[in-house]
Structure 1
Amino acid sequence: MSTLKVTAERLTILEHPNADALELAQVGLYRAVVARGAYRTGETAVYIPEQAVLPAGLIEELGLTGRLAGGDANRVRAVRLRGELSQGIVCRPGALAGVDLAEAAGAGTDFAGALGITKWQPPIPTAMNGEVERAPDLLPWVDIENLKRFPDVFEPGEPVVVTEKLHGTCCLVTYHAGSGEVQVSSKGVGAQGLALREDGVNLYWRAVRAHGVAEVAAGLAERLGADRVGIFGEVFGTGVQDLTYGRSGRSELPGYAVFDVSAVVDGQLCWLDAAGLLAGALPVVPELWRGPFDPAVVLELAEGRETLSGRSLHIREGVVVRPLTERYSPVTGGRAIAKAVGGAYLTRKGGTEYE
């Protein structure tokens, strides 16, 4: 899940092709449907992204009572309005009436706290939960920012690789070469510096055992001369999320595919090519394309049908983009990596979004 920030943004206003009373306000590569004439190109307004949870007073002020997602109708999610995908909310809240929004946009001010906006946390089903223990040396996963919000993460024409983003649950495995200890966690639990204690029910441990992930990590640590190795994979199938890829998360062999690998070598954390290192040893996420970076190509690849099953069973969640050569991004303040999520996935009915 991306970082939640509520910021002031300079708008580009576009025509809505199917509604005379509506327009599209573009922020980065996101577009949000707004009332015609409410904003002009070059003006600044507040952008509230998807997965934001709004307080009741702000919902009422924006005229969105009963129109947002979730059991309490307070969560922002993507919708289609007169055929156009609308992601997020563009507004000028009364609480910020005295704020110079243009200046705030330049400073990157985050208004989430001032507006009482919080980040939605997906629920954790019982099979993904378990007893936890402290794990300060666990190699955690990182939040991947959305390409639509940060289109400048990659340079135009920079060589990149695009892989399919799977709809499952993130499984973290850390192998400690010195002790042989294996730690398993989820993204949310791992972010708290915690690991899941091994048991026979927990989905993550079942996947790790069934696919021999710990053994592969041990071999990789020896090969690289690494003190620690992190293997990050997606566990998927029936009982995990609504998109199953033809697998069952309840079986003895849950669906599993690696999307990233890290290692600590000589005290330095390195991110490595999962496909190149693990080909034949573990399942890896499908590669869809590689070539010079073009946001239009990436956004097109985010749509369509999944390829993991080989049978195009359902829609694709989206894609993940990485440079061919791992590097730091001053745009995000971390790795140069981004995701793009498909519109069909965002607006599907009856979808699940567990942690």
Structure 2
Amino acid sequence: MRVTAEELTIHEHPNADALELAQVGLYRAVVAKGSYRTGDLAVYIPEQAVLPMELVAELGLTGKLAGSAANRVKAIRLRGELSQGIVCRPTALAGVDLAKARADGSDFAAELGIVKWVPPVPVSMSGDVEPAPELLPWIDIENLKRYPAAFTDGEPVAVTEKVHGTACCVTYHAEGGRIQVTSKGLGAQRLALVEDPKNLYWRAVRGHDVARVAAALAGELGASRIGVYGEVYGAGVQDLGYGADSRRGEPGYAVFDVAVEAGGHLRWLDPEELTGMLDGRLPLVPTLYRGPYEARAVMELAEGRETLSGRAAHIREGVVVRPLRDRYSAELGGRAVAKVVGAAYLTRRGGTEYE
């Protein structure tokens, strides 16, 4: 999570005379009318940021933010319009040249005392850990609304459904046939979970025979390491269950990515290659669209009902966009992959966001 200087585009609020919409990338945040003009620079604080109470008070937001301490930024609807993040000019940055900071990509999170919100992890998702420096890397997927130039119009892409579960990475080592299992949060710390039959991630990995499939992939692709990235889901994991119940049986599981290391080179399976190699072997996240990229169509796909269960059990979390040929993105500073989270999902009540 980064707190950055951004150029604003101001739009009229359709339902409030005293409010306007400040656009950053494709995000929009509600602001007081007249506070900014199009072309102005301001600081953008994203969702899931936790603010120090002094800054909360300075911004006039006492008692208005999310969380038990009312200090967490969350998407909300204000007079019918979705507001994501906070646009402001904190006094602590009064002497900062925001134009230069924007050009340099400066991050003000530490200076402002802002940290990312990390929810407490349920016991079933935690466990004993061990150092694991040889894990295959975890790719943090950025939001397309923050990086709207990540894809070009007409570029061939695949759009898959973003499943609201907890991400699980399996690293398979061809030498010795060893596997390591980790979560998103632990993987970022280069930690693996010690095998435990009660642990949610290990239950999913063993229940869906992920290690056997990873071993087969390694043999077919001549790989020294295989990384299988999947979403573990079901009632008891997050607030959206997709008709599965992890508390009474095998957790739901759906793969969204595979990394292959061969000859010292790491690559990611392209969407069609992923489907071709795993279909019938492991469950996959649903593909909603393949074709030319068009931003508005992708935003529309982020809304609606989920398709994973086949029963449209509840709202969709959102979507993930990838090019049909994996590539580098200068806009993202890494692999070209981005997500869009649905407005209905962001503003639902009683949501959970365990990592």
The answer, yes or no, to whether TM exceeds 0.5 is: yes
Q: Which amino acid aligns with 1:249?
A: S
Q: In structure 2, which of residues 202, 205, 211 is the aligned counterpart of residue 208 of structure 1?
A: 205
How far apart are the structure 1 equivalents of 2:137 and 2:72?
27
Is 1:193 the equivalent of 2:190? Answer: yes
Partner of 2:243: 246
How many angstroms apart in 1 are the aligned matches of 2:288 and 2:73?
30
Match for residue 229 of structure 1? 226
Superposed CA offset, 1:212-244 (max 9, x none) = 100000000000000000000000001000000
**Which residue matches 2:317?**
317
Q: Are residue 328 (structure 1) and residue 325 (structure 2) matched? A: no
Name the SS of the counterpart of 1:60 in structure 2.
helix
1:303 equivalent in structure 2 = 303
Q: Which residue of 2 aligns with 1:27?
A: 24
Please provide the CA RMSD for this pair.
0.8
TM-score by length of 1: 0.98
Match of 1:146 in 2: 143
Return 78-87 or 290-299, whichever deviates more.
290-299
Q: Which amino acid aligns with 2:189?
A: Q
In the aligned structure 1, how far is the partner of 2:294 from the partner of 2:110? 35
Partner Cα distance (2:205, 2:247) in 1: 14
Shift of 1:327: 0.4
- Tell me the CA shift for residue 122 of structure 1: 2.2
Matches within 5 A, 1:7-86: 7-86=4-83
Q: What is the Cα deviation at residue 185 of structure 1?
A: 0.8
C-alpha displacement at 1:56, in angstroms? 0.7
Secondary structure, aligned partner of 2:47: coil
Which residues of structure 2 form unaligned runs of 5+?
Answer: none
Whole-angstrom CA distance in 2 between matches of 1:167 and 1:14: 32
Letter in 2 for 1:295: A
The answer (yes or no) to whether the contact 1:140–1:187 under 8 Å persists in 2 is no
SS in 2 for 1:226: coil
1:114 partner SS: helix
Moved more, 136-145 or 19-28: 136-145
**Aligned counterpart, 2:152:** 155
SS of the residue 1:319 aligns to:
strand
AA paired with 1:16? H
The residue type equivalent to 2:143 in the other structure is N
CA distance in 2, matches of 1:112, 1:137: 30
Letter in 1 for 2:324: L
Amino acid at match of 2:282: L
Does residue 339 of structure 2 align to residue 342 of structure 1? no
- Judge conservation of contact 1:206–1:252 (CA < 8 Å) in 2: no
* Partner SS state of residue 296, structure 1: helix
**AA at the equivalent of 2:29:** A
The equivalent of 2:282 in structure 1 is: 282
Amino acid at match of 1:328: Y
> 1:128–1:202: 8 Å Cα contact kept in structure 2?
yes
Letter in 2 for 1:338: A
Tell me which stretches of 4 or more aligned residues in structure 1 moved more than 2 Å. Answer: none
Instruction: Give 1:125's match in structure 2, choosing from 114, 122, 126.
Output: 122
Task: Single out whichever of 104-113 and 282-291 deviates more from structure 2.
Answer: 104-113
Deviation at 1:5, TM superposition (A): 0.9
Counting matched residue pairs gives 352
Verify the 8 A CA contact 1:258 1:285 in the aligned structure 2: yes
Residue identity matched to 1:185: T
Which has the larger displacement, 234-243 or 248-257? 248-257
